[in-house]
Every structure is written in structure tokens, then in C-alpha cells.
Amino acid sequence: MAVFPLPQLEDNAVLLPSSQTNSTQPQLCDVWRDIQGAHNWNGLLDPMVPNLKAEALRYGNLAQLCYDAFDGKSYSKNYGTCYHSKRDLFNKMGMSESGYQVTKYVYANTNLLNQVFGEKPKDQGVWLGFIAVCTDPNEIRRLGRRDIVIAWRGTQTAEEWIEDLRDILVTTRLSYRCKRTGKNQEHHFADGVLIERGFLSCYTSTVRHRQGAAGATVNISTRDLVVSEIERLIQVYEKEMDNLSITFTGHSLGAALATLSAYDIKQMLCTKHNFHQIPVTVFAFASPRVGNLAFAKRVEEIGVKVLRFVNKRDVVPKVPGVCMNENVGCLSKLLHWLPWTYFHVGFELPLHNNSPFIQHTHNLAYFHNLELYLHLLDGYVGSKQPFSWSGRDHALVNKSCDLLREKYEIPPKWWQEQNKGLVKGPDGKWTQPSEEE
């Protein structure tokens, strides 16, 4: 296998925290609409303003949490769930100061994931992420608004994507409940809009969902879980409509689902009086292409703001549509109707592997790692600027890979669960714990 060397920097390259200070920057509460993409991040990306970088890293950390909190051990009796309850998720994962409260967990059909993404089957679905709302008064003041966030988990390796993303584009019909009439109104995607079949099937698949303390289960789609919870939250905070935002984030498959669900939610908001003004933003990391040209245009038309972070050596953002995509030019536009002509959405921020912390590697999967993305974003100043470390712990890069130079003495793949999840009971015996409620 060929080796892909990274750009060489001197050992005394910029390793100290960036000299940029927030003292010269406006307060986030005063510019939050710009940070959320109200003006398409014009003048904010190159060079990147500190407020935007900090917010992108914050949402990226929420996407990473979805990996860290997922029980993906095939031998675990709680396989496919989150390690922690909604109440304890942020506290147990070291994010007690986030200011957010989880209101709903999101699951997807595991039979589909088994067929398309290599997941182990589980009747009630596997945990893919969460919906949370900012409830802390201090954080609301800092943000300048109340924020609802939807974070999605992705798949693990680039090899899975290369093998699995071989599907075609399809159309769909979705319905929303009209607030005025109380009836479901079927919504047709705009003329010619097509979505990658695997992503759409995952989003609309039916799972067995447990409701209430009694533990009754109902069959409900992943999409209905998300839409109903967002509808509930915007009704709860309807009086704060002028200072309310909805933000989606995810990595890999999660980035694709974040884009698709953001599009769906914005369409739903457009059917409700005065709700269309709520800004909907996507911070997508390593997102594959989701749909065709008509989809990309429609996302822009309805006002969904998508900022995609792309490692230039990551293969996942190049699929699907390897042969026919937005980079082909006029030919792809002429053949936009074909079921394998894909177009990226939103705005792309390319990240270069110019960090002096990182060693040479021939493992393509490492370029897809979310912690590497966040490390490169932490050091990003502008497209023509060298890496400038802003203080994010570089040891995080090696959580699930082997990318740091040996001189930093951080072992590879060091993120491990203590005792493989076993706990010692009062009788002195080691057992697997029950799923947290």
C-alpha cells in the first residue's frame, strides 16, 4: 500500500497556543446569527474567526460524544445502546458544564444498519445520537439564544464507506401535521430532488421505541422520533422564537443524517406559521454526498446552512458519486437526472494535514478519524497559514488511532472502557451492568 507522507514542519513550528485573543473579538451573543451561517459565513472562514472555530469545535465534541458513549461491543448484553441515561450523559462523559439537557435519544433500525453499515442486529434499534436543549441561563446568555442540538453518531472506518456506499439516488414523500387543521399533509420533495437510498432508509426506518415508565413499546420511525421531539420543543419555547436556533452536527454517516434531518426539519418549519424564521444550521464533519443537484439547490432555497469540514486526504467526502459529481463540471449538470450523479451541499472548509504533532501514515482510515478532524480544526487559521495550536489536548488524536509522533509519548488507541464494562457486585462477583434508564 502506498504511503501518503504529511507536509514536513520544523520541530519548532507553531506549537504554542494561538496569539489570537477573544478580547478583540465581538461577544458570541452579539454575532450568533453570523456564526450560525446567516450570511453564509462570508468573511469568517479564511481566516477563521475565533468565535466560529470555538463553536464548530463545541459541536464537533458533541458528535464525538456519540462515539464515546456508544456501547459497540459485540459481547455486551447492552450492545447498541448508550452507556448512560439521558439524565447522566453529559455528567458521565465529562461535559457537565455544557449547559444542555438531553431530552430524547435517537435510534435507527438495526436490520438495515446490518445490511448497509455492518451493525449488529438489535430488535429495538441501535443508538445513533441525541436531541438536547440549552437550559442553563448563563450558557443561554453566552450563546445569545436558546439552542436545540441534534447530534448523530457515524460509522467507524473509511473502509466501511468504500464497501458500503454503492447505492443509488431515490425520491421520497414525507408528511407533516398541519398545526391549523391538525391533519397530516403530505410533502413532496421539490421536483427532481433525490436522496441516497441508504441514508434515506436509515432515516425513515421503523424501530421499536419504549415510551413512559411502564415500558410500553411502539413502532416508530427514526424520522418521526426526531420530528416529533423538535415540534414539541419549539412549542415549549414558542415565546422565545426570535432567539431560538436548531443546530445539527455529526461525523461520517452522522453528518449525512444531520444534513438530511436538517432539511426535513426546515421543511416542517416552513409549514408552520412563524416557525420558518428559526435558523437551522449543520456543522458536518467528513460528510459523504447526500443527494443530487436538485437536493443541494433546495437545501439552499429553504435556508438550511451547512458548513462541511473536510480533511483533504479523507476518502469519505469523495463518495458516493465518485465518477459523477459537482467537480465534473458541465457534464454533471447535464446528467444531473441520473441516479448516480451526486452534489455536495453547503460550504466546504478544507483542512490540511499540516500539524507538527502528526506522523506519516499509510492508513487511510486515520484521515477519517473525527478526533483528527477536531485537532486540525483547532490548529486552523486560514488556507495559507501554518498550523497554530489553540490548546486542544493533542492526546485526543490517539484515542482510537496511532497518529501522534512518538516523542509525545501517547500510546495508540488508548481510549478503553475500564474492565471492559464489568462491575464488581456486593457479593464480589464481576457481572455486566444493566442498561441505565
Cell numbers at 179, concatenated: 398545526
Is residue 167 annotated as part of the catalytic site, yes or no?
A: no
Place of cell 504533532: 357
Is residue 228 annotated as part of the catalytic site, yes or no?
A: no
C-alpha closest to that of 98 among 66, 64, 61, 130: 61
Omega of the bond prior to 356 within 30 degrees of 0, cis? no
Q: Nearest 5 degrees, angle CA 90-CA 91-CA 97?
A: 75
Q: By the 8 A CB rule, do 203 and 107 touch?
A: no
Q: By the 8 A CB rule, do 336 and 294 touch?
A: yes
Q: By the 8 A CB rule, do 240 and 53 touch?
A: no
Name the active-site residue from 76, 98, 245, 252.
252
Q: By the 8 A CB rule, do 198 and 220 touch?
A: no
Is residue 368 annotated as part of the catalytic site, yes or no?
A: yes
Residue 250 parent element (H or E): strand 244-251
Tell me whether residue 188 is exposed, middle or buried, using C-beta atoms within 10 angstroms of its C-beta: 0 to 12, 13 to 18, 19 or more.
Answer: exposed
How many Cβ atoms sit within 10 Å of the Cβ of residue 245?
Answer: 20
Q: Nearest 5 degrees, angle CA 7-CA 250-CA 57?
A: 55
CA 156, distance to chain mean position in Å, is 13
Q: What is the DSSP letter of 255?
A: H
Count CA atoms within 13 Å of residue 262 on its CB side: 38
Q: At what angle do helices 222-236 and 197-204 cross, to 10 degrees?
A: 60
Phi and psi dihedrals of 408, rounded to 5?
A: -85, -10
Name the active-site residue from 368, 378, 394, 400.
368
The per-residue DSSP string of 258-298 comes to HHHHHHHHHHHHHTSTTGGGS-EEEEEESPPP-B-HHHHHH
Q: What is the DSSP letter of 434?
A: P
Cell numbers at 291, concatenated: 443527494
CA 295, distance to chain mean position in Å, is 19
Name the active-site residue from 34, 71, 264, 314.
314
Place of cell 462491575: 423
Q: At what angle do helices 50-68 and 253-270 cross, to 10 degrees?
A: 110
Positions marked catalytic: 252, 314, 368
